[in-house]
Structures are given as structure tokens and as C-alpha cells.
Chains A and B, each alone.
Chain A
Amino acid sequence: MAHFVPHTEAEIEAMLGFLGLESLDQLFDHIPAAVRLATGLALAPGRSEADVLDHMGELAARNRPCGTGMGHDRLVCFAGGGAYEHEIPSAVSALARQSAFLTSYTPYQPELSQGVLQALFEYQTMLCRLTGTDVANASLYDGASAAAEGLNLAAAATGRRLVWVSEGVRPAARAVIATVCGPRLEIREAPLVDGVTAWPNDLGEPAALLVAYPNYLGALEDVAAAAEWAHAAGALLVADADPVAAGLLHPVGALGADIAVGEGQPFGTPLAFGGPYVGLFAARDARFVRRWLPGRLVGEGKDASGRRAYVLTLATREQHIRRAGASSNICTNQTVVAITMALHLAWLGPAGLRELALRCARGARYTREALLAIRGVEMATPAPTLYEFAVRTPRPAAIVLERLAEDGFLGGLELEPDYPELGQALLVTVTETRTRADIDAFAIAFEKAVA
């Protein structure tokens, strides 16, 4: 059994003696007998560290993970759709694992927490520069929850409850929005035409429009037009911005988005079966901040002797102060994942981020050309794309994916369940991790799979 509790029997006896008690049972005597558990929990007995590792290793061995260069039965990944395989610099993973970051609590005591606070301040600054905004919070749970909070903020700031969500927003994120915002907001979806959002002529009186850039099908939406359209209707534009694409594309704030949200997983965080990731949240207009911004904010101030000091600030928006009147219920966020992202962004620098996005786009173009050369494979939409794209396949995507897996590829994501209008279609994603050899082999397997 594990020995995470240090107490020896002699020590327990001494402490009980000090308390005038004879047994540990007596510590629970004041609890009504009717609700006390008569027998122990029906769980397996505790195991040694080595046994736990063996057991977890056996479970892990029943998965077919993505990756290259490790041998085994790994899949070469051409899937994305909100979770991406990127190279993770050794320096970034080593730094993110430091126990001072990993095992500290929320930095309520600034004198003991300057490391985490400063790292978050730097994260906030980098996120603002990435999205062309003025203020970023210290993270939310994931891209989906960030989008939901963006709509909540817009509703609070405009005093309206109708929101328009583009069907180009990731389907699972739209599902989360429906669950989280459903009780208080009226949610309507704007359809995709030729791969990009067709906002309705009559928007009514909306609080917000939500658009993804690039969208789930990889297409480049006209964010500036969406912003104009939103503002003309008195609404805010919330843009779900891909932070990797930001290496090449205009920042959404510069295109007129009022709130930028997104998923920060691509920077330093492995696929990890979907979590923990990090929800990005930033706003262009500092007006929103004091009252409505959800989540923690780190500010720079001074200590008693005038030294530079970082501190959690503007807490009057938050649940622990405002309770029922808070801008959000969020307490725990994804701090160490946000710090990881900031470390990775600093490792890249502006030139590295540009190069990363460029390499993804080059790989995608090379892959697209190779796939389109296969008989019966065509683009599912005409809109320009960056590093993800949708292709129609002559066979059902589920079967194509299954056959590709037999040849060692995770070939993409099936689109038909969420976008029946596209027919048999597959979302293919290419990152900087894919070499020409990977792509050539993928194209050969793809041709076999659709035959």
C-alpha cells in the first residue's frame, strides 16, 4: 500500500492522547451513526508504486497513440479539428514540469507567488499580441468553455440574450455552448455556404456573433465583414481564433473582433485524449474588464518598498467576492497549461511562430494536392484554407478512416454526422510534424482506402 500518510502508530497514539481520545474512530463519533459507513469502501486494496505503474502501463498499451519515431504501433496523425499534434520543445516540457509551477496553489499570496504571477502576466501579454486585443485573462478551461464565456460576456455587456453561432464553430464547442448558455441565452446557428458562414440578413437584436477563424472546415472566414455586420446590429463579435494560424493571419482584434477566444493546446501540450488543454480569452475594449471579464487577472503593481510586484487584481468581478453577482463562476482555471503555452511562444518568438504556421500550411498544400490527384477525391468546399481542409471521398469517411488505421494512419475526422450536407467527407489536418515521406505514404494508403 502507498505511504503518503507519514504518521507512525506511536505518533497517532501520542496525538490521540493529547486530545484525550483512544482511537481514530472516536474522531468521527459525533457523526450520526445512521449515515456512517459500516464497512470499508468496496475498492481494491492499495498497491505499490511499481504495481500501479504496471497496471496503468497495461491500460496505456490498449491504446493506439499517435506519434512517430517511437516504434510500436503508433499512428501517423492527420487529424486535428481542435486537438493537434505539434512538436513539443524539450525545454518547454522540462520548464512546465517544475514543481514550483505544477504543485503550487492559486497565487492568492503574492509574496510567495511571484513566479506564477509573473509567468501569467507574460502569458496575458503574449495572448493580447497574438489576438490583437488589449486585455487577456489568466485562462479558462478549454476552447469550448472560452467561447461560451465570450457569449456570456457579450450578453452582459449588451443587455441582450440572442446570440448567433456560426456552424463553422467546432460542433462539440457548439454543444458545450448549448449546455452552458442554454438556460440564459437564446442561441441560433448561422449556416455555412461554400464553407463559410452566411449570416442571415435579419439578425434581430443580437448580443453577439460567434465565428471561428479558420473555421472547423479549415476555411478562412471574412472576420472583418462579420465584425461590421455584428456592430451594425449593435452586437459584439466573438472570434474563436486559432493561435497557430495567428502566425500568418491578421490578428482577429485588428479585424474588428471585440472578444477573442480559442484553444491553446497546440503550444506545448500533448494530445492527451483531450485534456487538460487551455481556454484562451481576451478582449479588445478595456471597458469590459472591470465588470464583465470572467476569470483571474494578473496585474503589475508595487510592493511596500516600491519594488515591481505582480498580483491578482480586479477581483470584484469574481465569485469569491461578488458571489451571485459575479461575471462567471470560474475559480480553478488551467494556469500551468497557460504558462506552458507562454513558454512555447517565447521559445518560438515571432519568426518561429511564422515559420510554424508556414510549415503547417505547406504540408497541408502538399497533402491536398496529393489527395486531390486520387480519383473521386475532391474538395468539399471552395473556400481557401490554411492547414486543415475538408475533402469528399467516394466511400463513407468512417470506412476510409478504418482502412487508413490498418495502414498506420489516423486519417482525419469524419464530417458527415455534423455536416450531412457535405456528404461523405473527411477533415484532414497537417502540422509541421509531417514530412514529405509521411505525406507520400499517406496518399498511397488513401488511394487504397477509397478504392
Chain B
Amino acid sequence: MTGAAPVPEILRRPSGGRASSLPLMGRDAEPGIFELSSAGRHGFSFRATEVPEWTAEELVPASHLAPQPPALPEVSERDLVAHASRLASRNYSIDHGAYPLGSCTMKYNPKICDAVASLPGLTGCHPSQPASQVQGWLALLAALERDLSEVTGTAAATLQPAAGAQGELTGLLIMRAWHSWKGRAPTKVLIPDSAHGTNPASVRMAGYEVVDVPSDARGLVDLDALRRVVDSDVAGLMLTNPNTLGLFEADIEPIADAVHAAGGLLYYDGANLNAILGRVRPGDMGFDIVHLNLHKTFATPHGGGGPGAGPVAVTERLAPFLPGPLPRQVAGEEAGTTERYRWVMPERSIGRIHGWHGNALVLARAYAYILANGGDGLRHAAECAVLNARYLKERIRGAYDFPFDGPCMHEFVASSAALRRAHGIKALDLAKRLIDEGFHPPTMYFPLIVEEALMVEPTETESPQTVEALARALIAVATEAAADEGAAARSAPHSTPIGRVDEAAAARHPRLTWSP
């Protein structure tokens, strides 16, 4: 195999994506904000309004008026700024370096998109303003819907879902509404055993039962097993393609045929869409419903856990069921000379899924990202995402095993089970040791069908030199662990503000708020 090929000289240059120089200063814990509090101190100021200064007692009925306000911390603005800045210095981010978390697509978040999201003409709009006052927003959302439909090979989309899991629920509710409209009431949804945990959780929220579909020896959907469980009680199949092993489900056509023949629908989990942008479209593979994660594929910042955005795109026959309202162009004479939009509720809509129009500023960032890339740019992103993953996988071959060894797409799943068996070293230990090498660890212990799994997704925005440096770091931690029987890895990381946390103890005696 190619693992023995020499590493090209051009890739051996110093890397930009390693964060081993990150100055996380000091050994003291940052005090809690309540510990910085001093009674009577405050940082606020308000404008002079010249409104009469009625007292609280004059304004609020006695039975509703609290004797005193909530016990918030009392700090100066200067102390608050220092506290939050020190907290920031105790946190890793994509702006600091590579973040090869499998299935999370932590690519660089372009700053141009931040600039767009702070345009006063976008940030200052109240979501209930009449359509005539927010034509720019409606045009933006309509254009994003059009582009996402093109990327996914679908007909229409809702931008309301605030994250991928909310998109999943939305898609499943559309599935349910469609069956109901057809006079059917199937009760089951099929999910491969390699699926993200949100899939089965969303299925239950939508009122369906989960039926697991096993993977075969290739790590792909077991087609025979699938055919055995598909029947008229199946509402649909949820599938990630490429799947969570980073492998393309090559049997997608017979899979789609089997589900459609039984009257079911095909749901595409867009977590891994980054692998196939501009190369393959879910709609062309036979998927009926697609959710996207704009905070993955379209580079919107993940915000330490959110906000994201999880639009759902559907084929023509499902468009009447989309949540609404949707921005639609005004046709004919009514439209006048300039493009005009209004809100339209789809005919058989499942209703609202978001309190307003979705995470609008996240949507604006994603649209700016699409504009900057264009069709060719998105396609090139997918190509280099796959190239980086494929290179990294071959570079670390030998140091790790690949239980499912098909050609990987944008990510792959390595196993360190051999080190576990030989020396009792866990994937967790290796992941923590990687931190000392200057890299954020990969996703661990997922998917569940791989022992001691390390799921690695370098993304296209890491340079080839960074990917090469990551490869060397991954090899180094495995080599070291075999040599010292995990001595260094078991106590890693050593370079961070805190060491390994006793998570079991924290869960046994949960302390979820600060108290003196």
C-alpha cells in the first residue's frame, strides 16, 4: 500500500496549524465571577431620557414587586473585561489552530462573514417588521434557499431550524405529514447503527419507533438486512452519506429503491455534506429530505456549542409541507420594476419550527460564504477536504488500524484497539496526549461500531503542512505509548491550564451552580 511512500519535501515545511505555542499562562484557576464581586460595585450606565422618575412602588402592584433584584455579581466593567479575557485565553478555538473533530467539520470561519453579520442594516431589523420594510432580508433568505436547493439537488427549503437536530425533527415531521396526507400511518424509521445519536432521539420526538439497520463488513449499510426490515410500516430511512465512518454508501441507488418501493422516504443527514459539495447531490441520490449544518459545511462559527443553523431542503412533492412562512418573490404586475418578496405559508405546512425566521445572522454568514466561494469554490473545498483526509489516513497507516478500510471521503475512523490490547492504553489517552503535541483531539469513541475509535476530519482549510504535522503527531503519540506503555499518555495532557478531569466524580456529586 502507499503508506510506505516517501513524504514529499514540500509537505515537510513548518506548519501553521499547530498550537503548541499557545500561551495559556499560569497555573491558578480563574476566580468565578461571583468571587470577584464586591457589594455595591457596578459597571452600568444608562442614557438620560428625561422620562419622569416614578418609583418601583408606583409602577408595579405590590403583590408582584420583588423586595430586591436577583443576586447577580457586582463587578466593575474593567474587572469583567479582564475576567472574560482570561477565560478566553483558557479556551482553544479554530482561530488558534487545527481542530480535526470527525463529523464536526471545524473549518476556518472566514472573517468576511463576521463583517457581514454586523451590518447595521441586518442587525437592526425587528423580526416582526412588515415585509415591505425588510425586503433586503427576504431577498437574502430567498437567495440562500435557492442556493442550498441547488447544492442539495432539491426544490425548496426552510431556513427556520436553529441547528442540525432541529432540522432532523423538522424533516421527520415533514415525513409524517406527507404520509398522513397520503392516508398512511407508518410507525417506524430505519437508522444505520453508525448514525449520530441525534437521529434516534429525533425519531422518538417525532413520534416514531427506531429500527436499527446493521452495517456490513465494509462499514456500509447491509443491503440484505435493510431489505429484510423494509415494509409498509416504515416511514423512511435516515442516512448520512458519506457515513460516519467517512465511507460513501455506494449502494445508495438500491437502498433508495428499496425504501421508495415500500412507500418510505429517504432522509439525508447533512453532517457530512462537506465531502461531496459540487460532486454529488443528495437529491440526485434519491433523497427526499435533506438537512444541512451551516455551522459545519458553510463555515459559520460554532460559538463554543452554538448557534448553528439546520435548514431543511426537500424535493418538489414535499415542498407544500415545509414549515413557513417562506419568502417568495411577488410575481407579475404586482411586482413592479424591482424584485419584491412577501411571506407565504406553504399549502400543507407542518407549521412553525422557530419562534421567528431562524438564526438569521447565521444564515447571512452562510450566504456570504457561498457568494465568496461560488460553485467552483465549494467544489474545490470538497476536493481538498477529501484529499487532506485521504493523505492523513495513509500517513498514519501502520500506527493505527482501520477496521473499515474503504477509500475515505472527508474523514476516517482509526482504531487504537491494538494498543489497548497490548498495553491497556485507551483512545482517550492518545487523544489527551495529542493536546501536548499542539493539536485538538479528534472525535473519540464514535461511531459506536469501532473499538477505541478516533474519528479524524482535518477539513480543507488546514494546509498540507499542517496535515503532515498532524500525521506526525498522531504517529508520535502512538509510538510513544507503545514504547513507554502509556506512561506519558495516561497522565496527559501536561501542557494545559488544568489536567485531566475526574468526570465520574463530577457526575456523582453534581455541582451545577456557584455557591460560596
Contact = CB atoms under 8 A, between A and B. Distances in A.
12 contacts: A11-B463, A27-B390, A63-B124, A105-B106, A112-B91, A112-B435, A141-B354, A324-B201, A332-B295, A355-B46, A361-B59, A413-B128
Interface stretch (A38-46, A228-236, A374-382): A38-46
Interface string A120-151: 11101110111000111011011111000000
Interface residues of A, number: 210
B513 A130 contact: no
A403 interface: no
Given A6-B463, A47-B372, A349-B73, A77 B162 contact: no
Interface-central residue, B94, B362, B464, by most chain A CB under 10 Å = B464
B126 A83 contact: yes
A87 B47 contact: yes
Nearest to B284: A35
Interface in B481-507: 491, 493, 496-503, 505-507
Contact of A102 (B93, B125, B310, B394): B93
Interface stretch (B129-137, B223-231, B418-426): B129-137
Given A15-B8, A332-B163, A60 B304 contact: no
A432 interface: yes
Nearest to B279: A28
A353 B72 contact: yes
Interface string A285-326: 000010000001111111111011101011110111111111
A35 B282 CA distance: 9
Given A46-B374, A180-B353, A74 B124 contact: yes
A336 B307 contact: yes
B25 interface: no
B346 interface: no
Interface in B384-430: 384, 386-388, 390-391, 394-395, 406-407
A99 B302 CA distance: 10
A331 B121 contact: no
A271 interface: yes
B282 to A, nearest CB: 9
Contacts of B364: 56
B506 to A, nearest CB: 3
Interface in A86-105: 87, 89, 91, 94-95, 97-105
Contact of B304 (A97, A106, A326, A386): A106
Contacts of B129: 64, 75, 79, 410
Given A47-B372, A273-B356, A113 B91 contact: yes
Contact of B51 (A353, A359, A386): A359
B200 interface: yes
A297 B206 CA distance: 24
B306 A319 contact: no
Contact of B201 (A87, A254, A319): A319
B123 interface: yes
A48 B384 CA distance: 20
B513 A43 contact: no
Contacts of B210: 323-324
B87 A118 contact: yes
A5 B134 contact: no
Given A75-B133, A332-B295, A362-B59, A349 B74 contact: yes
Contacts of A36: 279-280
A301 B501 contact: yes
Interface stretch (A201-209, A243-251, A388-396, A441-449): A243-251
Interface string B276-305: 111111001100000001010001011111
Given A101-B303, A349-B73, A41 B278 contact: yes
A335 B278 contact: no
B84 A343 contact: yes
A420 interface: no
Interface stretch (B63-71, B312-320, B329-337, B472-480): B63-71
Given A14-B11, A270-B123, A102 B301 contact: yes
A289 B512 contact: yes
A191 interface: no
A339 B304 contact: yes
A346 B80 contact: yes
Contacts of A193: none
Contact of A313 (B101, B368, B388, B503): B503
Interface in A1-54: 1-2, 4-7, 10-12, 14-20, 24, 27-28, 30-32, 34-37, 40-49, 51-53
B303 A324 contact: no
A328 B50 contact: no
A59 B338 CA distance: 13
Contacts of B305: 105-107, 116, 138, 296, 332-333, 335-336
B391 A19 contact: yes
B95 interface: yes
A339 B74 CA distance: 17
B127 A274 contact: yes
A43 B49 contact: no
Nearest to A16: B387
Contact of A18 (B7, B53, B206, B276): B7
Contacts of B122: 56, 59-60, 63, 65, 272-273
Contact of B499 (A16, A304, A342, A413): A304
A385 B128 CA distance: 21
Interface in A398-451: 401-402, 405, 410, 413, 432-437, 439
B72 A176 contact: no
B263 interface: no
A237 interface: no
Given A14-B11, A349-B74, A49 B46 contact: no
B151 interface: yes
Contacts of B383: 24, 27
B361 interface: yes
Given A14-B11, A362-B59, A410-B129, A103 B109 contact: yes
B89 interface: yes
Contacts of A333: 163, 305-307
A328 B510 contact: no
A65 B47 contact: no
Given A83-B127, A331-B198, A35 B285 contact: yes
B435 A128 contact: no
B390 A134 contact: no
A168 to B, nearest CB: 15
Interface-central residue, B139, B162, B355, B384, by most chain A CB under 10 Å = B355
Interface-central residue, A112, A128, A136, by most chain B CB under 10 Å = A112
Given A20-B2, A115-B90, A309 B498 contact: yes
B93 A103 contact: yes
A293 to B, nearest CB: 10
